[in-house]
Structure 1
């Protein structure tokens, strides 16, 4: 290949590369006239190449040009003095008249003798990235709204104690352990603590410790370096590092293996981590909140959980009551979930019937608030009226095969033989704390039958003193 042919081939190859680039690229000659204009510039600016060639860069009306308006001639442009401009965000005026957010960079081109021969500029369209930023900011705002204190519903004494604990935890940097059954809202409480604390502008990172194997969880929490294990083809930051300046929430902490327990203890003591496969220690600035539905102290006694880690985690414990221990909050929660589902579905359900609410009040709720929310969502699928009826509720709530005991009987009682009398029913209600399901178990009847007896004899659903 002759030198001339080789030069021609190189030029053609470079032009193909520039034409294939996603970023806009254009060049100007020594008179400041546009001499090339790639397809990406056509897309970003709206100007076709034939419209731009021979013009100056003034057609772009850049909002930032060395802090000044674009000069009238290339001789007065500071790019000649500086040699290249730093990459900067600015706005270009599209041919249609709207502004396009971009990152623009420029550099002077000189020949071998050092003489100025032109300028090359690159333009990166930031429109999609800015939209992604806006979506992320909106999502963060919605997340903060979800975790506001007033989104945790309850007026009962038990919930007032929870609200008080959240406020105290948010005002401190203490490690928090949230204890409660599945479905009681542990993640919601963790979010309320974070978003009401001084760390609210930092990230809140959530990790479910029961969802991953030991090796995957170690990499997820601590990160890894390239080559640490098969498939680790690049360095990866772990969740502890991602939570820097904010909060990490470790759910189902009782599921941790002994190995991860040791590593977590070191994090709590030293506030530093090592990525998998790395010996370098990295300092982290995080607040740790953990949660479990298990009896963690019992796991300590059984040898499944480290005692020193247990005491490190429960610096400030927050106990969430199960729904069956705050039944007075059920009507509030039902109204809250009805309003939420109305917004979600566009329906206009106004209320729940007395019979359906009575079923809710007597259900043991093994799944707690989450189960109640799911029951309302189920009802919305069936309900085409302004009122949710008992027939709209899930069958396992309307006709439970066995209801979980809310207050286990002190003595075993055989099924009653013969009809139940009103004095016997009143005595049993007092004995069982007015829990209809438990009364039914004592006498071998369904709680629906107990309701019918109470309705027949005008016995109120709650203890009269309440």
Structure 2
């Protein structure tokens, strides 16, 4: 069948209308045609380009890492084609333009080389879109993260805003929240985003020491102040000079230490134990408590004047059970941490295990969740954490049955009773190969109780 040829005028219009840059080379590697799109992409006009070698464009990649000096060294003669090579060309004004380059060797009917056709697709807009997407992803990560604090919930966004405001001031901060919510992380974030970030950040757990030891720990002592004081000792307040001191579990300090601390907060002065000399200190104080300090004041366990001195700028960290939308982010974060720590490559959690993690009330908050993920890493043998990789108390809570109306076994104690359905029991029986003792262990009930549920729902003893 004879080959149809296009009208030369139509061919010219076709090349001129193409969005991709198109140019041709003769058998010597000199440019012979140059469409308007390649003019736009490269900055070279047809008059400037025609007659020049392909090396004019200085592609960063072709068949090899860079273009050769002439067509005789070019891989197009060997391979005959180049498909979709992503690289850069050098614009006339000197900057690099991201492009996709393709090329075809053209021969006549006798197989004699007539030249080369090259097409160039401008990726500038695509690369811009890529950068914008990467920047959006980075900003999204910033929204969900503040240092090592993770959370996308509205409550945590308020905490992040409070941290930023606190870091920009010198006010005394009171951080309140249940154990495991990350109070020390908040204090650290405030310090490391403040003007004092290059100075010491000193942490003291006030519940870990007796009154006498805590006094010495905070204020220091001089030689001979008490039995065993064989030399002068600098206290934690002095160690924090110029920086920040974080007083964790502040509700546990005795009335005596409360009086001494009040003086420090008011005057920024301390006296070492056994010494009457006052020492000036320049410190930022951040206190924290897992108890309601106002309630402690009302009960007479904490000084009211100290309470109001400490809560100049209060920050309340919500418990994990009140911000469950943060759990998937935290699970991903803890899995990434454990992957780096253990060298494993666990990709995530299954839907079933994630549902259990979402349902559990987390009395130990984020710290308990982190421990649960670490526990799961010990048992996980696949790519994803599954139900039975989780700690047993979390599994038992998820599968806790409601009591039978006919006097069946009571549900184990807990925050709530999740009704055991026939389908759930059937699934558990399948998972345990119909071993009723194992099902009972997972439910936290006896083998007899499992049998009673099976009888109630007319489930056969064996499948």
Q: CA deviation at 1:335?
A: 0.4
Structure 1 alignment gaps of length 5 or more: 1-147, 404-413, 419-436, 456-466
Task: Calculate the TM-score normalised by the size of structure 2.
Answer: 0.57
Identify if the C-alpha distance between structure 1 residues 441 and 306 changes in structure 2 by more than 3 Å, giving closer, same or farther.
closer
Matched, 1:337 2:314: no
Structure 2 partner of 1:247: 244
Of stretches 381-390 and 153-162 in structure 1, the one that deviates more from structure 2 is 381-390
For residues 401 and 257 of structure 1, the distance between their equivalents in structure 2, rounded to whole angstroms, comes to 41
Q: How does 1:231-310 map to 2 (within 5 A)?
A: 231-310=228-307
Identify if the C-alpha distance between structure 1 residues 202 and 180 changes in structure 2 by more than 3 Å, giving closer, same or farther.
same
Identify if the C-alpha distance between structure 1 residues 284 and 393 changes in structure 2 by more than 3 Å, giving closer, same or farther.
same
Match of 2:161 among 155, 160, 164: 164
Q: CA deviation at 1:447?
A: 5.1
Structure 2 partner of 1:359: 356
Q: CA deviation at 1:351?
A: 1.1
Bigger radius of gyration among the two: 2
Match of 2:405 among 405, 417, 423: 417
For residues 368 and 200 of structure 1, the distance between their equivalents in structure 2, rounded to whole angstroms, comes to 28
Identify if the C-alpha distance between structure 1 residues 301 and 169 changes in structure 2 by more than 3 Å, giving closer, same or farther.
same
Identify if the C-alpha distance between structure 1 residues 155 and 450 changes in structure 2 by more than 3 Å, giving closer, same or farther.
farther
For residues 364 and 420 of structure 2, the distance between their equivalents in structure 1, rounded to whole angstroms, comes to 21
Identify if the C-alpha distance between structure 1 residues 185 and 448 changes in structure 2 by more than 3 Å, giving closer, same or farther.
farther
SS of the aligned residue for 1:399 comes to helix
Q: Deviations over 1:390-411 (max 9, x none)?
A: 11000011113999xxxxxxxx
Q: How does 1:58-207 map to 2 (within 5 A)?
A: 149-207=146-204
Matched, 1:214 2:202: no
Identify if the C-alpha distance between structure 1 residues 396 and 415 changes in structure 2 by more than 3 Å, giving closer, same or farther.
closer
Q: Over the residues paired in the alignment, what is the CA RMSD in angstroms?
A: 2.8
Identify if the C-alpha distance between structure 1 residues 377 and 156 changes in structure 2 by more than 3 Å, giving closer, same or farther.
same
Q: CA deviation at 1:150?
A: 3.6
Structure 2 alignment gaps of length 5 or more: 1-144, 428-463
For residues 423 and 207 of structure 2, the distance between their equivalents in structure 1, rounded to whole angstroms, comes to 41
SS of the aligned residue for 1:220 comes to helix
Identify if the C-alpha distance between structure 1 residues 449 and 203 changes in structure 2 by more than 3 Å, giving closer, same or farther.
farther
Task: Calculate the TM-score normalised by the size of structure 1.
Answer: 0.57
For residues 281 and 389 of structure 2, the distance between their equivalents in structure 1, rounded to whole angstroms, comes to 51
For residues 420 and 248 of structure 2, the distance between their equivalents in structure 1, rounded to whole angstroms, comes to 37
For residues 355 and 419 of structure 2, the distance between their equivalents in structure 1, rounded to whole angstroms, comes to 11
Give the number of aligned pairs: 280
For residues 342 and 247 of structure 2, the distance between their equivalents in structure 1, rounded to whole angstroms, comes to 32
Identify if the C-alpha distance between structure 1 residues 386 and 265 changes in structure 2 by more than 3 Å, giving closer, same or farther.
same
For residues 363 and 401 of structure 1, the distance between their equivalents in structure 2, rounded to whole angstroms, comes to 7
Identify if the C-alpha distance between structure 1 residues 394 and 162 changes in structure 2 by more than 3 Å, giving closer, same or farther.
same
Identify if the C-alpha distance between structure 1 residues 269 and 399 changes in structure 2 by more than 3 Å, giving closer, same or farther.
same
Identify if the C-alpha distance between structure 1 residues 370 and 388 changes in structure 2 by more than 3 Å, giving closer, same or farther.
same
Matched, 1:349 2:337: no
Identify if the C-alpha distance between structure 1 residues 451 and 161 changes in structure 2 by more than 3 Å, giving closer, same or farther.
farther
Identify if the C-alpha distance between structure 1 residues 357 and 175 changes in structure 2 by more than 3 Å, giving closer, same or farther.
same
SS of the aligned residue for 1:400 comes to helix
